[in-house]
Amino acid sequence: MTALEKVANVCVIVAAVAVTGGTVYDRFLGPKLAASQPGAALARRLANREFSLPVGYRGGTTATLVLFASKSCHFCTESMPFYRRLASLRAAASPYFGMVAIVPSAREKSAEGAAYFQQYEVSLDQVEAMDFSAFGVVSTPTLLLLDGNHRERQVWVGRLSTENEAAVLEKLRQLCRKCITD
């Protein structure tokens, strides 16, 4: 066996190990890591992406919070006290800070979604029934914070901890310094 054949055999073995390792990672390890951080994965996909707001809605001039929710989602219902707090900030900071909810179009209509939020005294600028997949959203609740140019600045997925609720408020204060004084 010549030196060239030995080098070729070593290269084939290294390539086979790399392909096998990548396959094992994708098949077994990758899904577990992605599932443990759905918000982080969504944030990477949406980073600085321009977001299309529902037709006819302009959003806040400084910040807009888009809430993806469903009345069948118990985490959404459990989060209503926080959403009510955000809505009261929105009311005080309008037109600088806007807030819109998107409910799944396949199961709910805009009027049903609006009634759901009204039931919990969450006042929003607009409630629309739209397909979540068009936005890359796969679970509820999802909060998407947009700047005045409708570029995504932050995303939160799931029932928020007290620390994450504070992070939402802090991000709002950073974007909307003069309008959020809470």
Q: Do residues 59 and 100 make contact, with C-beta atoms less than 8 angstroms apart?
A: yes
Structure tokens at 80: 């209503």
37 versus 161: the higher-pLDDT residue is: 161
Taking the C-alpha atoms of residue 177 and residue 86, their distance in angstroms, rounded to an integer, is 15
- Residue 122: pLDDT band (50, 70, 90) is very high
Q: pTM of the predicted model, to two decimals?
A: 0.69
Average the pLDDT over 60-83 and give the result.
88
Q: Do residues 161 and 140 make contact, with C-beta atoms less than 8 angstroms apart?
A: no
Domain boundaries defined on the chain: 3-36, 47-175
Give yes or no for residue 38 having a pLDDT over 60.
Answer: no
The pLDDT, as a whole number, for residue 173 is 83
CATH number of 47-175: 3.40.30.10, 3.30.70.600, 3.30.310.50, 3.40.1710.10? Answer: 3.40.30.10
